[in-house]
Amino acid sequence: MTRLPLSDYDYELPEELVAAAPAEPRDSSRLLVVDRASGRLEHAVFGDLPRFLKPGDCLALNRTKVMACRLIGRKSTGGRADLLLVRELGPARWSALASGFKAGQTLVFDGELTALVEGLNEDGEYLLKFSAPDLRPYLAERGLAPLPPYIAKKRSPSRADAARYQTVYARDEGSIAAPTAGLHFTQGLLERLRAGGVAVAYITLHVGRGTFRPITGDDADAHRMLPERYEVEEDQALALRRAREGGGRIVAVGTTVTRTLETLARRPEGLTAARGESSLYIRPGHEFRAVDALITNFHLPRSTPLLLACAFAGRERLLSAYREAIARRYRLFSFGDATLIL
């Protein structure tokens, strides 16, 4: 018997509202504020965020850095080769998401780079062996930002995306997708928040397939998250604990931060320094132990990030807020507008 029907987490999606490019400047995005206690909605812009936070709160940000891990080349047979690198497996060896490859094929890229297709792994990723032992210098010079498919089908990727599909505080390279709630922050906005008494703490969770892998079937409860690597340093954990002990709120910026903090909160040591992997799947019924408020973008129907946001805000309340946002022509998804759930 289905316990969590995925069809309950669907909504009518106008394709024209899917943002193909980000707002400029970053903090000019719109912000829909959802008050869980009263159900009240307020329409603002992201630069208004200091108005909704208070001294003693702690903003938790994911400082992972997105790799330029999309490569476009050609097969030795002449067809297009478009792939997303997922994991580095060893010298010259990576797994990748793509379609239409065959074991034994050679892929050819600009700059005399080639890759041999070795086959598929159990996760449906192609195993590739490149002609360069260390691929990262090549990616830094020629790789493209791994824009989501719903953006890539609207326009061609460019090298400019590599900078804009990145937070201003990104530090630790390792993600194959951006922690998009953080894309709205500018250094000036962070300075204003600090000046207003809001603390800032950084965690790192490297976004992998776990964040965006689709749920299959209609029983969302049967889905399993793939593990993703995280790290929280002690000085950052201390800032989080101080906020909680002082009566402030921990404000998670994004679903990746939320999953990391909720993972830590389930350890006997709580919010302390840690390094490991998280496969925590947050869906309605989850008891939040670390996160008091959530900043997040609008999410795809039937996706794990949407279920997380519904778990935090309440399904009916959040989907009602989505209907209001769509009626007011908010821009959706990675390069779109944001919500603040209090």
CB 88 within 8 A of CB 104: no
What is the overall mean pLDDT for the chain? 96
Q: Is 3 left (phi over 0), alpha (psi -120 to 50) or beta?
A: alpha
Q: Alpha-carbon distance 261 to 278, whole Å?
A: 10
Q: Label each residue of the chain as H, E or C.
A: CCCCEHHHHCCCCCHHHECCCCCCCHHHCEEEEECCCCCCEEEEEHHHHHHCCCCCCEEEEECEEECCCEEEEEECCCCEEEEEEEEEEECCEEEEECCCCCCCCEEEEHHHEEEEEEEECCCCCEEEEECCCCCHHHHHHHCECCCCHHHHCCCCCCCCHHHHCCCCCCCEEEECCCCHHHHHCCHHHHHHHHHCCCEEEEEEECCCHHHHCCCCCCEHHHCCCCCEEEEECHHHHHHHHHHHHCCCCEEEECHHHHHHHHHHHCCCCCCCCEEEEECCCCCCCCCCCCCCEEEEECCCCCCHHHHHHHHHHCHHHHHHHHHHHHHCCCCECCCCCEEEEC
**% of the chain beyond a pLDDT of 90:** 94
**Predicted local confidence at residue 240, as pLDDT:** 98
Q: Alpha-carbon distance 232 to 271, whole Å?
A: 9
Which residues have a Cβ under 8 Å from the Cβ of 103 and sit 6 or more positions away? 117, 118, 119, 120
Q: Which two tokens stand for residue 12?
A: 């009518």
Give pLDDT tens digits for 271-326.
999 999 999 999 999 999 999 999 999 999 999 999 999 999 999 999 999 999 99
**Predicted local confidence at residue 2, as pLDDT:** 57
Question: Can you state the angle between helices 315-327 and 304-313, rounded to 10 degrees?
Answer: 110
Partners of 30 in beta bridges: 45
- The second-level CATH assignment, the architecture, of 6-66+163-341 is 3-Layer(aba) Sandwich (3.40)
CB 275 within 8 A of CB 230: yes
Mean pLDDT, residues 86-90: 95
DSSP β-ladder status, 228-232 and 293-297: unpaired
Q: Alpha-carbon distance 217 to 34, whole Å?
A: 30
Q: Looking at this protein, which amino acid is placed at residue 82?
A: D
Domain 70-143: CATH superfamily is QueA-like (2.40.10.240)
Give pLDDT tens digits for 42-62.
999 999 999 999 999 999 999
Give pLDDT tens digits for 140-150.
999 999 999 89
**Predicted local confidence at residue 160, as pLDDT:** 81
Residue 77: band (very low, low, confident or very high) from pLDDT cuts 50, 70, 90 = confident
**Predicted local confidence at residue 1, as pLDDT:** 47
Mean pLDDT, residues 160-173: 94
CB 252 within 8 A of CB 261: yes
Q: Alpha-carbon distance 253 to 282, whole Å?
A: 15
Q: Which two tokens stand for residue 37?
A: 């206690």
**Predicted local confidence at residue 253, as pLDDT:** 98
Q: Which two tokens stand for residue 338?
A: 């944001």
Q: Alpha-carbon distance 280 to 262, whole Å?
A: 8
> Could you state, in order of their start, the residue ranges of all structural domains in the chain?
6-66+163-341, 70-143
Peptide bond into 284 cis (omega under 30): no
**Predicted local confidence at residue 159, as pLDDT:** 74
Give pLDDT tens digits for 229-259.
999 999 999 999 999 999 999 999 999 999 9
